[in-house]
Amino acid sequence: MKIHEQCTVAPPPSATKTSLTLTFFDLFWLRIHPLELTFFYSLASQQSNPSFFFANVVPKLKTSLSHTLQHFLPLAGNVVWPSDSPKPFVQFTPGDAVSVVVAESDAEFDQEIDYSPRETAPTRPFIPHLHSSESLASVMSIQITLFPNKGFSIGMNIHHAVLDGKSAAMFIKAWAFLCQTQTNDETQIPSLVPELLPSFDRTLVKEPAHLRPFFTENLTGFLSNTYPQDNSDGRCLKILDFPPKDAVRATFVLTGGDLEKIKRRVLSKWEVVEESNSTVSSKLPNLSSFVVTCAYVAVCIAKAIHGVEREKDKFAFGFAADWRFRSEPRIPDNYFGNCVWNNLVDADPLDFLEEEGVVLVAKRIHRKVKMLGQETVLLEGFSQFVDLMKQGVQIIGVTMSNRFGVYDTNFGFGKPSKVEITSLDRNSSQTFGLVESKDGGVEVGMVMNKHAMDLFATLFRQGLCHDDHESSS
């Protein structure tokens, strides 16, 4: 990796000092590893020639980034926690800027955009470092990496306490929109379309009374108990060290046809396969792609892990649900920040290894989704995760969503060849990532040890062939 430039990109000089409150949705992620995303773009040979790329493409990306930051000022700031403040907050002060690295890689671009399993370590250099210390944490850093005569990547490292996946997708689409529409006259800044203009109105988020002791009344005590290895007053802002796993990374695709096959199979067994103590109506539901995908992938993961590590036979599944449209009153889609909460699916730990595990888990996920919006669900998920981990249950999680439209992120050079959730290799639980696929299905990003990944790939393919066999018989 050759570093061409290490610089900063600031909002326009007209930007004024601003601060942003962190809600209870945000504070949950205060010390958790950042959200890391990598967007890969193929380029024509002339555009990807180093002399042309660094003289023309990079300046365009940097200028449009500055224009975008004027709408997203918190991303150019820092998370701070002054001694006279009961809670940390985000603060932008004129002079603050986003760290940008411009690099050139001799890695094979075609291998980087390939979906087959490969080591995780080679993908790390495309993500920049995000600074954090006990007293201050940067919000975002960016790296632009050229693969000569092939394409380039944009790696983003963003503090998770400042935004969720939906807000991250909104930001990069806003940046792409302004890059694509900017003119040679840098004084003429194009306007953002309304759906890409962020709302920072924190009055829209109502903190449930039963969560106040954790996130408002005694935040430092809560953080001290959660991270006992750190300083006793709990005011540390340093992001916890989640070393990348020694594993392999791969992407699997469920086409629209695959999803329909799995859905038909699940519904055909819906009334036959009953969970213990089930109170779910036997009426056949309309299953979403999210429910079908998560049930299928989670069961394949559980069976793969169990196949490699026989002593692991108890599993649980959790997912972060968007509360924007579940709140009353509704929070707008362009709300910027975290507005998700982790939810644990009420499946028996042994369900995942059952012959009809996909049906069992799909029913449980469907029921949990129907319950979302109830205030009690917020606190339940918070305590259940801790209890299960103490019992040695393997947690399977999911991040991002196939509804964010990340493959529509066009900077003027075409749509991405691949979008990767790079931070999957930093999760303490076994987490997979979802984005929409280019043909209308779902892409599933995975990081596992090689033996488990090989077995997962086999189970993933066999399950789809099994559905083909059943539909033809």
pLDDT reading at 405 higher than 80? yes
pLDDT class of 242 with cuts at 50, 70, 90? confident
Spatial separation of the C-alpha atoms in residues 452 and 315, rounded to whole Å: 15
If one compares 300 and 222, the residue with the highest pLDDT of the two is 300
Q: What is the pLDDT of residues 189-239, one digit of tens each?
A: 779 999 999 999 999 998 877 777 777 667 777 777 766 666 556 788 999
Spatial separation of the C-alpha atoms in residues 248 and 233, rounded to whole Å: 38
Q: What is the pLDDT of residues 313-345, one digit of tens each?
A: 999 999 999 999 988 889 999 999 999 988 899
- The DSSP-derived string for 223-249 is HHHH-TTS-TTS---PPP--PPPS-EE
Q: What is the model's pLDDT at position 281?
A: 52
Q: Which of 379, 390, 374, 388 is nearest to 215 (CA)?
A: 379
pLDDT class of 375 with cuts at 50, 70, 90? low
Domain 248-472 has CATH 3.30.559.10: yes
Q: What is the model's pLDDT at position 186?
A: 64
Spatial separation of the C-alpha atoms in residues 456 and 299, rounded to whole Å: 10
Q: What is the model's pLDDT at position 217?
A: 67
Mean pLDDT of 110-126: 95
Q: What is the model's pLDDT at position 89?
A: 97
Q: What is the pLDDT of residues 417-453, one digit of tens each?
A: 999 999 999 887 899 999 999 888 999 999 999 999 9
Q: What is the model's pLDDT at position 473?
A: 43
Residues of the chain with CATH 3.30.559.10: 2-207, 248-472
CB of 35 closer than 8 Å to CB of 90: no
Q: What is the pLDDT of residues 129-168, one digit of tens each?
A: 999 999 999 999 999 999 999 999 999 999 999 999 999 9
pLDDT class of 373 with cuts at 50, 70, 90? low
Q: What is the pLDDT of residues 49-104, one digit of tens each?
A: 999 999 999 999 999 999 999 999 999 999 999 999 989 999 999 999 999 999 99
Tokens 């709302």 found at: 199
Mean pLDDT of 254-262: 96
Q: Which residues contact 83 (CB under 8 A, 6 or more apart)?
A: none
3-state secondary structure of 251: strand
Distances (CA, A) of 48 to 40, 126, 346, 370, 382: 13, 17, 50, 48, 47
Instruction: Give me the percent of the chain exceeding a pLDDT of 70.
Output: 90
Range of 1-10, 210-219, 366-375, 384-393 with top mean pLDDT: 1-10
Burial state string for 350-372 with b = 16 or more CB within 10 A and e = fewer than 16: ebbbbebbbbbbbbbbbbbbeeb
Q: Which amino acid is at 13?
A: P
Q: What is the model's pLDDT at position 219?
A: 77
Strands 151-158 and 118-119: unpaired
Q: What is the model's pLDDT at position 231?
A: 56
Mean model confidence pLDDT for the chain = 90
3-state secondary structure of 253: strand
Query: Cβ atoms within 10 A of the Cβ of 437, count?
Result: 18
Residue length, the chain? Answer: 473
Quickly name the fold that domain 2-207 has: Chloramphenicol Acetyltransferase (3.30.559)
Spatial separation of the C-alpha atoms in residues 97 and 89, rounded to whole Å: 17
Instruction: Give me the percent of the chain exceeding a pLDDT of 90.
Output: 73
CB of 297 closer than 8 Å to CB of 433: no
pLDDT reading at 472 higher than 50? no
pLDDT class of 277 with cuts at 50, 70, 90? very low
